[in-house]
Copies of this chain bind each other. A is one copy, B any other.
């Protein structure tokens, strides 16, 4: 609503206040058909992700492998002493559906694996500009099918943050349509479940989220002329009959989050369909957390509790 910097709330930790004091990074968006421009922008953004997540080397064990032909990081933390005895977590990295590959995928997924306390499969799925929709989803479907051969569905979890939340929810929809069973639970952290960006917080939080602005340019690059409102691209608009078959779902966002509306609307859609879905919203948090504040640990703790509660 204004270009004045948003006031810093005193109702969050000091680390969170420092994070909120940073202005939002904005950059030039390449023309839709400027493939080299997109590659440069994506490379620069991935460097930023690596800088943000790479500050501390996490105590995780990482194997780089292929699952059903898809390059995949298999990651677990030190508490996982017998991976074969545990449920598996299929974690879908974020990055606006175009960023977050390679090293950025490894770093973001390592944090997720450490939090989950489960052996975590993080596909380094294909993305635009070279591989628009449905390449990412095709890769995730292939990995999900492969994991169903390793565990019964009640010993699988699926989750993701931001664009990873889009793909995680879309994956379950496609899995339903292709006759595959649902996992034990779904984790959607500040999920980009509406590529049309129709939610109210795209307006009301535009001046307050210091991390994220509209990603419509990336959405269009990803969609490659397919309707943005198709449920495989915007799972918020899934058929209620499909949503009714979703597993227990954990949803998380912040009050300054550009995706606050995405998150609460998805929660309501799942609740209206009768799904056991729980919502957690953090005070003044922008998209994706506070960059390592105590509140971020709390997000991790709640997520872990959800996973533990639905483990068999």
A interface residues (Cβ-Cβ under 8 A, vs B)? 1-2, 4, 6-7, 9-12, 198-201, 203-205, 207-208, 255-256, 260-261, 264-265, 267-268, 271-272, 278-284, 298, 302
Cβ-closest chain B residue relative to A305: B271
Taking CB atoms, residues of chain B closer than 8 Å to A302 are 271
Among B11, B255, B272, the residue within 8 A (CB) of A198 is B11
Name which of A201, A207, A283 has the most chain B CB atoms within 10 A of its CB. Answer: A283
Instruction: A200-B284, A255-B261, A255-B264 given; name 20 further pairs at CB < 8 Å.
Output: A1-B1, A9-B200, A10-B198, A11-B200, A200-B255, A201-B255, A204-B205, A204-B255, A204-B284, A255-B260, A260-B281, A261-B284, A264-B281, A264-B282, A265-B283, A267-B280, A268-B283, A268-B298, A271-B302, A279-B281
> Are A298 and B281 in contact (CB-based, < 8 A)?
no
A12 vs B198: C-alpha distance when bound (angstroms): 10
Taking CB atoms, residues of chain B closer than 8 Å to A7 are 203
Taking CB atoms, residues of chain B closer than 8 Å to A1 are 1-2, 4, 6, 207
Among B11, B199, B204, B298, the residue within 8 A (CB) of A265 is B11
> Are A283 and B264 in contact (CB-based, < 8 A)?
yes
Taking CB atoms, residues of chain B closer than 8 Å to A11 are 198-200, 261, 265
> Are A261 and B278 in contact (CB-based, < 8 A)?
no
What is the oligomeric copy number? 2
A27 vs B123: C-alpha distance when bound (angstroms): 58
Taking CB atoms, residues of chain B closer than 8 Å to A282 are 264, 268
A6 vs B207: C-alpha distance when bound (angstroms): 13
Taking CB atoms, residues of chain B closer than 8 Å to A265 are 11, 283
Cβ-closest chain B residue relative to A260: B255
Listed A/B pairs (30) with beta-carbon separation below 8 Å: A1-B1, A2-B2, A6-B203, A6-B204, A7-B203, A9-B200, A11-B198, A11-B199, A11-B261, A12-B200, A200-B256, A200-B283, A200-B284, A201-B255, A204-B204, A204-B205, A255-B260, A255-B264, A261-B283, A261-B284, A264-B283, A265-B283, A267-B280, A268-B280, A268-B283, A272-B298, A278-B278, A278-B279, A279-B279, A279-B281
A134 vs B4: C-alpha distance when bound (angstroms): 41
Taking CB atoms, residues of chain B closer than 8 Å to A203 are 6-7, 9
